[in-house]
């Protein structure tokens, strides 16, 4: 399935910037595969002195953001699993700032973070490849809003693309 098949009723409006950050060139599965390699290659070309850099007081480092991407992808994939299995239990939101504050990403090597990102994406890919068309259309409630399984896949990609743009604009310019 491609992005142009997604309806804006399948996700909350606050996810629209992430959805809009995804290209319609590839299918959901293809973009899940391609985008992680694109990000890893991009990060591997960042100068070493930038990984612990904060562009302003209280802002996250690149390492913090990478671990945030990993955590968020795990949460989005978990939501996708629950919704695909027709679990009607509403799922709560999560406080990304608390996650980052206690994750200690800056104590880890960049290679360790990139390896974990790749492993998490492999798990996400396996999960999404297992979904039937019917599974992808299932809708659940997360953060008090309806969300389809396929929208969650596109949010994972768009969230990653958003943060890569932040790296370019705020950390490397």
Cα separation, 164 vs 33, whole angstroms:
16
Which residue from 71, 72, 75, 65 is spatially nearest to 106, judged by alpha carbons? 65
| pTM of this prediction exceeds 0.75 | yes
Neighbours of 119 (CB within 10 A): 11
Neighbours of 42 (CB within 10 A): 13
What pLDDT, in 10s, does the model give residues 19-65?
999 999 999 999 999 999 999 999 999 999 999 999 999 999 999 99
What pLDDT, in 10s, does the model give residues 99-150?
999 999 999 999 999 999 999 999 999 999 999 999 999 999 999 999 999 9
Mean pLDDT of the chain: 97
Q: Give the model's pLDDT for residue 43.
A: 98
Q: Is 17 within 8 Å of 110 (Cβ atoms)?
A: no
List the beta bridge partners of residue 165: none
Specify the number of domains making up the chain: 1
Cα separation, 64 vs 71, whole angstroms:
10
According to DSSP, residue 60 is labeled: P
Cα separation, 97 vs 65, whole angstroms:
11
CA dist 17 → 1, 27, 114, 161 (Å): 20, 19, 24, 10
Domain carrying residue 17: 3-171
The CATH number assigned to the domain holding 87 equals: 1.20.120.450
């Amino acid at each position: 399935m491609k992005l142009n098949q997604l309806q804006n009723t399948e996700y909350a409006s606050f996810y629209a910037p992430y959805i809009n950050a995804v290209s319609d060139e590839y299918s959901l599965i293809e973009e899940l595969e391609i985008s992680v390699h694109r990000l890893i290659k991009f990060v591997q070309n960042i100068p070493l002195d930038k990984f612990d850099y904060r562009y302003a007081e209280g802002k996250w480092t690149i390492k913090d953001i990478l671990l945030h991407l990993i955590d968020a992808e795990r949460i989005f994939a978990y939501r996708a699993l629950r919704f695909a299995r027709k679990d009607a239990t509403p799922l709560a939101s999560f406080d990304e700032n608390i996650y980052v504050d206690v994750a200690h990403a800056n104590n880890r090597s960049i290679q360790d973070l990139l390896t974990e990102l790749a492993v998490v994406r492999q798990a996400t890919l396996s999960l999404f490849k297992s979904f039937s068309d019917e599974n992808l259309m299932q809708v659940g409630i997360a953060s008090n809003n309806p969300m389809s399984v396929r929208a969650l896949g596109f949010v994972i990609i768009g969230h990653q693309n958003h943060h890569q743009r932040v790296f370019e604009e705020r950390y490397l310019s």
